[in-house]
Chain A
Amino acid sequence: GAVVSQHPSWVICKSGTSVKIECRSLDFQATTMFWYRQFPKQSLMLMATSNEGSKATYEQGVEKDKFLINHASLTLSTLTVTSAHPEDSSFYICSERGLYNEQFFGPGTRLTVL
């Protein structure tokens, strides 16, 4: 399957700052990537679908102005958490869609907002 990397693997920041998470497809041109969020002991929740060259599609309840997604190339999608607060602390995972709807997940980014 495809190889997806994510950076950073973990980040600690102060409340009010912004954090950028990168998701890279290392061996596949990903026109569609997905961003998920997972709180402790909970399931993965889809935040948004990132399409190369166009605006992301956000799920209901996800603030697009707070979670900025950019997918400027076929190998890179970024998620910026703006003005982060403690309640944004979570495990953020990206994935890319394969040719047959399968998904290849990145290793995830653990965000802790103090």
Chain B
Amino acid sequence: GENVEQHPSTLSVQEGDSAVIKCTYSDSASNYFPWYKQELGKRPQLIIDIRSNVGEKKDQRIAVTLNKTAKHFSLHITETQPEDSAVYFCAATPLGQLTFGSGTQLTVLP
């Protein structure tokens, strides 16, 4: 089955700086790669996703890149704000059921 690794596990940045979270996956058949933000006790919230026919996608301060050859994808958050502090999960799927990365606790310091 699919295996997704995520790094780093914790990340602290100063407000206004950029944050980058990286994931690798194992199943070359995976074709959908969502990123979720989860606040304590709440459901994961989709913040951006990318499909295998696209190399990069951007939505305001958030961007995701995908390298199919290397089987890795990354989340980039620019101009970070304190409200960006949360746990972020990457995920991958070939058939619909998601395999999640282990999560990154992002802390944006004011």
Contact = CB atoms under 8 A, between A and B. Distances in A.
Given A44-B100, A46-B98, A101 B41 contact: no
Interface residues of B, number: 20
Interface residues of A, number: 22
Contact of A108 (B34, B42, B101): B42
Interface string A88-106: 0001010101001111011
B24 interface: no
A60 to B, nearest CB: 8
Nearest to B93: A101
A44 B89 contact: yes
Nearest to B31: A101
Contacts of A103: 34, 46, 96, 98
A48 to B, nearest CB: 9
Most chain A CB within 10 A, of B43, B99, B101, is at B43
A32 B96 contact: yes
Contact of A43 (B31, B97, B102): B102
Contacts of A110: 41
A107 B42 contact: yes
Interface string B17-46: 000000000000001101000000111101
Contact of B43 (A34, A100, A101, A107): A107
Interface of A: 1, 32, 34, 42-46, 49, 91, 93, 95, 97, 100-103, 105-108, 110
13 contacts: A34-B96, A34-B97, A43-B89, A44-B100, A93-B44, A95-B98, A101-B96, A102-B46, A106-B43, A108-B41, A108-B42, A108-B43, A110-B41
